[in-house]
Every structure is written in structure tokens, then in C-alpha cells.
Amino acid sequence: MVEKQDRGLGTPTRRQFLGMGGMALGGMALAACGAGSGDTTTTAAPATTAAPATTAGSGIPMTTKSAVTVGYNNPNRLLRSPLYVGQTLGFFEEVGITDLTINDADDPVPPTLSGDYDIALFDSDVYFDAMEKGVLDADSRMVAVNLGAQPLILIANEGVTAENLAGKTVGGGREGQVNEAICKYMLGELGLDWETDVNFVSLTGGSNDWVQAMLTGQIDATVAFSRHVPLAEADGGSALYSDFFPAPQGGFVMTADKMAEDEGFAAAWCHAYIQAQRWVKTRDNFDELVRILSEEHGIDLPDAFFDPNVYEIDATILSQDLGFDPAEMDIWMDFVAPFGNVPADINDRWRDYVDVSGLHVAQEALGLPANPAADLSSGEEKIANF
């Protein structure tokens, strides 16, 4: 299997960055998760390693859908890797999915609405806002959270430090988006006021474009992602800030029509995905992960993929059990609401847009505790996502 039209997935070399068309200060669209520009469609082949036949009596939740299309618009290769691991190691086939198509369209809303996606990754704030505005059908639901933490990373050019950042130009991502909020937060943590202490500028394009703007001297520092840190370091720069915000930032969403087609699909999907994601998060599997991605699926892996620090950051983002702490979702929504991403009172209603019943079936079948609680209250008994 070969990934097609591979544009901006992962970390290009510095030369590729400098040769990219367009400018980060120009006018391109941006996904809040930091995806590069352009739509990419990837068709994944059926699993190459057969799983043993299973029946309903085995306790494994099954789906009647053998062919499934998933929307996954995050370009990070490690975050995407459970989709490929789940095929090669037979986790998807075990629950009845033998043909998985992965689509990378930047905006998951149109193909979700049209029925092209059986299930799709949504940023939590994007999904809740779409539900509030009636963009998605009222009975759509988020059925699991697979991205359970938000990395906070600020990189800078050579010679720029936290101590001399005052007065310099800092790129905050796209205006009004969550990355801008994150950048302002990091500056505050460094003791700087984004309005008065630095020249804070909004950027367009994807995160690769922001880093290009920095490397070409248009800006001195920028909000970024783990895969960009080695690139900055190779050019003499560094990460001025690196931390995590416990945030259920992204999860899988299904429309009412898709749930009605097979009521057991969410449980089956979660059962397969939990196993694949836990496998990816196990550091001892890294060499085999590289083989699966590069040899089994023909995915080109950038140098940053092999950086242990990048792996640790990205693996931390992946939820251990597709569950989350509702209190952390409340905090995350409070964080993004002032920037217009969601209504200020979204914490009064986001629970109405989540259904973890299928997730609980999958967790029980795998011998895991129910996480979160069925009423989406903040409980103490849960598997740590980090």
C-alpha cells in the first residue's frame, strides 16, 4: 500500500521548507490541529496478517461493515499510525473490518455530512461548535477520544532565547484558532505580555508554513509541533517552551445515519483502535512500527520520526483507552471559548453530544475499566492517558 499525494505529512527537510510555495503571511486555510495545506486521500489495503476467526460468543464486539472509510485530518505520522498498525496486526479484521480507506480531507464536516465517512476524527472544539450551530445532524455523537493531550511548543531561530524574546516577532498561528490561544498562553508562562512585550502576528497556512516563515527570517519564533523541533535545532534554533496541557483535543465522530447502519460499529471500532493505539504507545514496538509503516504501507518517514523526544511527545498525546476525564474537557473548553472556538457556555451542553456506550463495550471486552463514567461525571477510577 502506498500513500498517495503525500503533501505535508510529517517533517520535510529544511531545503523543502525553504522551497515551499506560498508564504505563511499569505492567505491559506488552516486546520486548528496544525495540518499542512492541501487535501490528501489515502487508500489503505486490507490487513496483511490474518487474525483468527471470531464469533459473537468470543466476547469481541463485531461490526457488519467490512469496508469502512475513516476521515483522519491530522498529518502527524505517529498519531495516524494506529490506523495502519490495526490493519497489519489484524486488530481491525478481528472485529470484521477488512477494507479500510483513510481520507485526509482538511475539513471533515462536508464528507461526514455527505455520508462519505463512516467515522471521522474531529477536533473537540470544532465538533462541539458544529453541533451548536446545527452544521451536523442533531443526533451525531463523539464516540471516543483518541487525542488526550495538547502539546505546547514554542520554537525560535538561532540566538533567540526566552530572555531576549521581548521586542521580537512571534507567530501565533491563525487568528482566532486554538494555536493562537496556546501561543499567548506560552508567552505568559515565559513572563511576557503578548500585546505589549512582543510583536505578535497572526499567520495563515498550516504549521509547516509557520515554521517556514521562521526559518526564512520573516518571524523570530512561532508556535509549532514536536516534528518541527529537530528542524529548528538543525538550523541553530531551539524550543523555548515545551509542555503539555491535559486536553481531550480530538475524538471520533459518527452521524446518526452511520450509527443506525450498524449499532455495534462504535464498539467494534473502539475495540480494534484501543489495541492498535496501546501497541503504538509501547516504546519497545518502535522498530516494528517503522517496518509496518515503511514496508507494509509504503509511508515515507522523515528524520524527526526517529527522534526519541519527538516519539515521547507524540505518544503522550495518544489516549491509552480512548477515554477521557470530563473535568479535563471542561477545562479545555474554558481555555478555547474566549477565542470564539465554542460558545462560552458550552460546558453546559457538550455532554449531550457524546455517547460512550460503545466505548464501554469495547473497554469491558478488553478487561479495562469504564472510562469515562456513563454519566460523563469526573471519576477517579480511570486509566491515565499520559
* pLDDT tens, the chain, 386 aa long: 222 222 222 333 333 333 332 334 433 222 333 333 333 333 333 333 333 333 345 799 999 999 999 999 888 999 999 999 999 999 999 999 999 999 987 889 999 999 999 999 999 999 999 999 999 999 999 999 999 999 999 999 999 999 999 999 999 998 877 889 899 999 999 999 999 999 999 998 888 899 999 999 999 999 999 889 999 999 999 999 999 888 999 999 999 999 999 999 999 999 999 999 999 999 999 999 999 999 999 999 988 899 898 899 899 999 999 999 999 999 999 988 987 889 999 999 999 999 999 999 999 999 999 999 999 987 544 434 33
Task: Judge contact between 2 and 69, C-beta under 8 A.
Answer: no
- Return the CATH fold of 31-149+248-365: D-Maltodextrin-Binding Protein; domain 2 (3.40.190)
Task: Judge contact between 189 and 153, C-beta under 8 A.
Answer: no
Could you give the CA distance from residue 115 to residue 73 in angstroms, rounded to a whole number? 16
* pLDDT recorded at residue 245: 86
**Could you tell me the pTM of the whole model?**
0.79
Amino acid at 354: V
* pLDDT recorded at residue 342: 94
* pLDDT recorded at residue 379: 52
DSSP state of 318: B
Task: Judge contact between 65 and 265, C-beta under 8 A.
Answer: yes
User: 31-149+248-365 and 151-245 share one CATH topology?
Assistant: yes
Within 10 Å of residue 302's Cβ, how many Cβ atoms?
18
Q: How far is CA 24 from CA 116, 156, 345, in A?
A: 31, 16, 33
Mean pLDDT of the chain: 85
Which of the following CATH numbers is that of domain 151-245: 3.40.50.2000, 3.40.50.2300, 3.40.190.10, 3.40.50.720?
3.40.190.10
In the chain, what are the domain boundaries?
A: 31-149+248-365, 151-245
Provide the β-strand partners of residue 141: 254
Buried b (16+ CB within 10 A) or exposed e, 75-101: bbbbbbbbbbbbbbbbbbbbbbbbbbb
SS3 sequence of 328-360? HHHHHHHHHHHHCCCCCCHHHCHHHHECCHHHH
DSSP E strand boundaries for the chain? 41-43, 67-71, 99-103, 119-123, 141-147, 150-156, 169-171, 199-201, 221-224, 238-245, 250-254
